Amino acid sequence: MPAEITFAADVGTGLVAAHQVCKTYATGEAAGRLVLDHIDFTLKEGEIVAILGKSGSGKSTFLRILAGLTEPSEGFASYRGRRIDDPVNGVAMVFQSFALFPWLTVLGNVELGLEAQGVPLDERHRRAIAAIDLIGLDGFESAYPKELSGGMRQRVGFARALVVNPDVLLLDEPFSQLDVLTAETLRGDVEDLWRDRRVPTKGIILVSHNIEDAVFLADRIIVFGSDPGCIRADIPVPLPRPRDQTNPIFRSLVDQVYALLTTVPGTEAKRRAEPIGLGYRIPDASIQQLTGLLEALSQPPYEGRADLPKLAESEHLSTDDLMVMVETLQLLGFAQAGGGDIEVLPAGRTFAAADLQHRKQIFNDHMRRAVPLAAHIRRVLDERPGHSAPEGRFLAELEDYLSEKEARQVFETVINWGRYAELFAYDIDSGVLSLENP
């Protein structure tokens, strides 16, 4: 469909919108993998919308589709009533990693966005300096990226997006690689720019897995479900700005979103009650994290039960890390989450109370039962004549379901768990798996 065709009738007054958007990525399987499933979404003028969801739920893919950087497999995205087929001029994006050109100064990096639009040199200079000023980097125009802290580099990322005076700003986890204080400062500065209308931007979408960031910044929070990505909840945040994180409504919204992110909805629960498949994206929790959390949870003040937001705070865990651990503990049958709480199950209590050898045994049992890949690796090793196999064959099998990068990550997690549980041995140099005690 040509870009000139407008959809004003169906599309309404949204800034950017998605209309029954689906996205399938190619995998080893013929059908490919469905990553976004019929997403309908509208960003209204004057709105900040936050999108929260597990890693891999398709949030980045969704933003890229709205920016015109990725094409949907079905459905379409629109910008001010026009179908998006190419990158859109009024839409700018800020990414998680700072992606600056090391050989260009701050000024050079910021001007880059304007060069692409054919803005003359003088005006480029003027506007870049104004954007650098706006985001609090005044005086650093001639610095190189390597001379800047992570927080300052991300400010350059923002300046580069803001210099084009974007109508819509798409932020893909812009604070997630910054330390907590730096992230909070930058988040506050972005909110100031927005509240004081110092930027002409009419709408922002913020992808995050930090619930506090979402409740702090957004007028509306969308919760993505995963496998395939879909919209599970759309929660308004009716709080005046600037927001007070200690306000009881603020806290109860955080709890509500926590509960949504850690409980599995009806249809997903039904599907998950069936055994998970080989291609299940095992959360990459480390053994130390898991044992540490189970130990803490089994002792006072928790005694086996905790409120998740409180737990994150008192154990100094980021939401992301806690989510990964909660999912793993549930997967392994050590704990159960619901309503924003976590409860340790009897197996988890036994594990926490056991000595190292017994812990390994319990972990071994649970892992074999809950993680098909672990059971599969063990079966192959049991059956092979030399009781060993190269990692490549397992990675190739995983790539039928997962991208190469994900396959590697899932494999490494299972290797770490399996070595701990003495389910199998793994030689890092040769990449060969074997049975320790065949």
Q: Which does 203 bind (CB under 5 to 8 A by kind): ligand ADP, Mg ion, none?
A: none
Look up residue 369 and give its two tokens: 């039962």
Nearer to ligand ADP, 57 or 319 (CB): 57
Q: Near Mg ion by CB under 5 A, which window of 52-60, 384-392, 398-406, 429-437?
A: 52-60
Q: How does strand 203-208 pair with strand 220-225?
A: unpaired
* Rounded-to-integer distance, Cα 422 and Cα 426, Å: 10
Rounded least distance, CB 37 to Mg ion, Å: 17
Q: Which does 403 bind (CB under 5 to 8 A by kind): Mg ion, ligand ADP, none?
A: ligand ADP
> Can residue 210 be called a binding residue for Mg ion (CB under 5 A)?
no
Nearer to Mg ion, 173 or 399 (CB): 173
Nearer to Mg ion, 224 or 280 (CB): 224
Q: Which does 19 bind (CB under 5 to 8 A by kind): Mg ion, ligand ADP, none?
A: none
Q: For 230-238, which contacts have Cβ atoms below 8 Å and span 24 or more sequence positions? A: 230/36, 230/37, 230/38, 230/39, 231/39, 231/40, 231/41, 232/260, 232/265, 233/260, 235/260
Mark 6-45 with x for binding to Mg ion (rule: CB under 5 A) and - for no binding: ----------------------------------------
Look up residue 203 and give its two tokens: 């709408």
Nearer to ligand ADP, 55 or 388 (CB): 55
Listed in order, strand segments (DSSP E) in 371-420 are 388-390
Look up residue 240 and give its two tokens: 């005046």
Q: Which does 406 bind (CB under 5 to 8 A by kind): Mg ion, ligand ADP, none?
A: ligand ADP
Q: Which does 361 bind (CB under 5 to 8 A by kind): Mg ion, ligand ADP, none?
A: none
Nearer to ligand ADP, 24 or 182 (CB): 24
Rounded least distance, CB 5 to ligand ADP, Å: 28
Whether 210 contacts 17, CB under 8 Å: no
Nearer to Mg ion, 129 or 218 (CB): 218
Nearer to ligand ADP, 105 or 262 (CB): 262
Q: Which does 154 bind (CB under 5 to 8 A by kind): ligand ADP, Mg ion, none?
A: none
Q: Near Mg ion by CB under 5 A, which window of 59-67, 239-247, 289-297, 310-318?
A: 59-67
Count Cα neighbours of 139 within 13 Å in the Cβ-side half-sphere. 3
Rounded least distance, CB 27 to ligand ADP, Å: 7
Phi and psi at residue 425, to the nearest 5°? -110, 160
Q: Which does 409 bind (CB under 5 to 8 A by kind): ligand ADP, Mg ion, none?
A: none
Whether 160 contacts 112, CB under 8 Å: yes
For 5, other C-beta atoms within 10 Å of its C-beta total 9
Nearer to Mg ion, 25 or 250 (CB): 25
Q: Which does 57 bind (CB under 5 to 8 A by kind): ligand ADP, Mg ion, none?
A: ligand ADP
Nearer to ligand ADP, 74 or 406 (CB): 406
Q: What is the CA radius of gyration of the chain?
A: 24
Whether 77 contacts 66, CB under 8 Å: yes
* Rounded-to-integer distance, Cα 88 and Cα 292, Å: 47
* Rounded-to-integer distance, Cα 338 and Cα 280, Å: 21
Rounded least distance, CB 375 to ligand ADP, Å: 23
Whether 223 contacts 52, CB under 8 Å: yes
Residues forming contacts to ligand ADP in the complex (CB under 6 A) are 25, 35, 53, 55-61, 403, 406
Q: Which does 291 bind (CB under 5 to 8 A by kind): Mg ion, ligand ADP, none?
A: none
Which residue from 57, 60, 105, 210 is in contact with Mg ion, where contact means CB under 5 A?
60
Whether 23 contacts 56, CB under 8 Å: no
Q: How does strand 220-225 pair with strand 230-236?
A: antiparallel
**Angle (CA) 334 340 343, round 5°:** 25
Binding residues for Mg ion, rule: CB under 5 A, are 60
